Structure 1
Amino acid sequence: CPTTESFWIKTCGEVASTGRKFHFEYFSEAHDKHFEAKAYSPFPGQFAAIFSDLTSWLQVERELSDSEERFKALSNASFDGVIIHDQGLILECNQELTNITGFSYSEHIGMNGLELIAPESLETVLANIKGGYDRGYEVVGLRKEGSRYPLAIRGKNIQFQGREVRIIEFRDLTESKDLESQLRVSEERLLSITETAHDAIVMLDNCGRVIYWNPAAEQIFGYSAADVIGENLHTLIAPERYHGEYVKAFSGFQSTGQGAAVGKTLALYARHKDGHEIPIELSMSANFVKGSWQAVGIIRDISERRRLEGKTQQMAKLASLGEMASGVAHEINNPLTGIINCAQLLNNRLAEDQWNSEVIGRIIREGDRISRIVKSLLTIAHPGTGKRELVEVGELVEIVMNLTAQKLARQGIDFQLNFDDSLPPIRVEAQQIEQVLLNLLNNACYALHEKFPVNHPNKKLELNVAKRVRDGRGWILFEIRDWGTGISKEHLKRTFEPFFTTKPAGVGTGLGLGLCHSIVKRHSGRIEIESEFGQYTLVRFDLPIEP
């Protein structure tokens, strides 16, 4: 008997005397089991009982309950929504799903899960369910209030409550998509800045290899991004004299992110693809990315700045020399005039003495030469106080051509004039501009005759006169080009210095180009020289057109 004798005597008596059925469950400590008992009276005054062992069934029920509680605990702890459905009908879901969709838990249970998918994504979802696809994919979800949102889902078949069902993971991508969009906008903005920057922007990995090279870097150094990505930057653009110092410095940078150039702006030289050197400014910073140091360099080509600095220094030097020349010229001019006058008087008295006459004549000629030099010095210092008048450009050119035509023909120079008759007049001191043109043409003739003492097909000289726009206003541009001896790079820097000349002693004074520079500058114009030694020389100067 699974229980005490007194309990059963009482129970059996009640059932037999009343005929009432009696049903209960109890635990037998003696047998360590759970039982179900059903007692009834088959006939008046009789008693019958049926006992069933519930131990195994209760154990299964308890385990199932524990399993369901664990599932709920795990799924509710998930940051993603979870659904268990059978043939589309939702059997179970977690709390996060209700947060995502806006439906309550009770509304979800029994709902067709496809109601949570936007119509445009239904075909994709149905195909994946049918095919048992268990990898993640993106669709458009549908919330309770009808709004759409980006949704990632992943499903697989599992056993649940004794049958095969499908579990689906819902991940709301709204926040991640917003972050992706913000990141994309940020990247596009950064790319726009780097791609349109006038300075070169270069990124190097921890081994010194190029991983980014913007269009300005292509423009400055001549290498395309395809040429340099993956290559060692310093091998490409650093002059050899920097290589040893670089190897030592970059070794320290690789491990510490520190170096002489980090956080500073340095003035250096870099090498262009064609081999010539470029003055640059380098600003470098260090970034720690994925466990290693990377370098970001911003490089500015300062060639134009250096050119302007050199020009400013040259102008200051010219101004200083001009002031000195003015003082010297005034001091020389008076005694020189006396020497020439005295020599002229002696020449008049000794005209019949041939030897004395020749010596005195030489004194007069050399005195006149000194006088011309003094005059040039004064012109450089104070190039004229004459009145400026509107002058037709054609008249200026015609006067100069009349003065040089005979020389050009005598030396066998092929001269070409390119001139626009419709050019407007310019307000200048005509004689000074004529002097500039004469000096430049004479220099060109000399260079051509030095290179080609006799006639030659390349013994050519061009004078081009045209209108151009610079700095928002009109200018008359004069260009004198010859294919003569040219000027070396080291001499080209000094061409406008007073007394600098490449001609033999006694042939040139070195004042011609300095005088040209001074005259053009005082007319608010600009003069520049382009030349390649042994090949050609091109001199350009412009003069402003009145508004």
Structure 2
Amino acid sequence: MDAPRETSLKRLQAGYRQLFERYPLPMLVVDLATLRLMAANDAAARCYGYTIQQLTGMHLPDIYFEEDHHLLPAYMRLSPKDRSMQRTWRHKGLGGRAIAVELDAEDMELHGLPTRMLLVSELPAAGPVPSTRNVAASHVPDRVQPLDDGFFMLDHEARFSAVNQAACALLQTGQDSLIGKTLWESCPQSESSAFRTQYEAVALHKQAIRFEFYLEARQIWLEVRAFPCSDGVAAYFRDVTTQHEDSRRLQQERERLNAIVNASSEAIITVDTCGRVQTFSPGAERVFGYASAQILGENLSRLMPERFRTGHVQHQAQFAASEEPSRAMALNHVKGLHADGHEMDMEGSISQVTVGHKKVLIATLRDVTERNLADAERQAARAQLSDLARKLMSQEKDLVKRIAQALHDQLGQTTAAIRILHDTMGVLRKGKESREYLRLDLQLGKLIDQATRQVRMVLIDLHPPLLDEHGLAAALDNELRSRALSQKAMNFVLNVPPEVLEYRWPSAVEYGAFMIAREAIENALRHSQATVVTVNLGGDTRRIELEIADNGQGIAPAAGTKPGHLGIAGMLERAHSIGGVVSVAPNPGGGTSVGLRWSHVE
């Protein structure tokens, strides 16, 4: 230690020594092991009539009358809180002079020894000083009257010798009706209960005790603290019914929580910050195949494959050091190890709480092995269906193209030849027709024109004009113009940024997007009662954003998932086949919006 610091410490010690020596009230320091008086101040010397040197050569029993010596061992064993209940004593000064005192005690360490410092307050007494018991009886009532706790003193016959107002209120009786009567007369229930056993432990065996007692007459619980004195028993008591009710409710909540934990199919495990298992629920026993006794005290990492244990310890330490209340474990995917050695797919979370000033981690885990297997099977089936859908869509496109080509090249040419032949025959027979012939000729001409139009419409339906040659934007424009010819009351709008007009995407993607747009337009015309249909096309060379919106009566939010909406189901499947996503939702301002989002994936 450096010199300035040592000098400062010495000054501080000297200051405390002067404070002790000059304190106006008597102060004594007692060695707890030997009861030797290790120090005394000037006020103590004046109080007891001895010199300081004489006092420090004495033992604590030397300042007590012999009849009170048997009380000292019990007093020295009292806790600091309980010592405050036995403060009034009769001490012996020089020449056997009796001194009525109150003691305040504080445990401390002096020169490495456990000691107790006694602060002595001399009580005024008129006439001869009575025994320790009578000193207490004459002074305690005045001190305890203001207390909220009830207080009474009993003599060796268990008669009330002192009682405060709080005690009278709790016992619902007056002081006069208690003083001089036995406890058993005033409270008959106490004689046949555990109260009598506790009383005898204090009165006969000189033990300071604390216990609880149910006062049936008032249906309340009392906490009693009783202390022996030379001539009977001193007791403090208070109503703890509310605490009992709180404790009972807490116990009910604990039992309810235990029932929930025990009934849970999930594994609920609590561990300390080092990972040692503290509780292992019945659900955990079922999930992992271990009995609770086999796991308690073990590290949680025992329940996972060895290859994950090091990482788990690190993540657990990081979580315990954080302020997060909870988080998913391993991104909600954990590997567990069953008692029979097989691995399990698990998902779970970990939380942290503070119990008794100690941090506790709670892991909640569930076995999802079967669910993951089922999910994998569903995903495989979905992949197979998607692959099949893509093949069917591709075959549909090829088949439609071939049919359209056949109609155009064969049936179209045939109807054109019929028209030419019909016109030629009309020229050749001009001037030779009968009226009936002219009527039939006119009808045949109309039928030929109708067949030609129908073939053209079928061709348009089967294969979108301009799609292969000029792309999606041109095909959509042509579609809306064609619709406008037959839907005079409907307003069709196409919005395409200039830079998007020339973009081209994969042929299958353009075809799928066009067919989705056509289906959405058809649905709007048939079901929405709209007056405006707007098509918005955006994106870039690797992305398509297509929206078909109307101002009609709208659609329910979940309608696309209900049976019977095959048009929407078809759009969803087409989008899935090209790797896109379709959304169908009501517009905030009314009507329905159908959206397609597609992005190129390497």
Normalization by structure 2: what TM-score? 0.39
Q: Which has the higher contact order (CA 8 A, sep 6+)?
A: 1
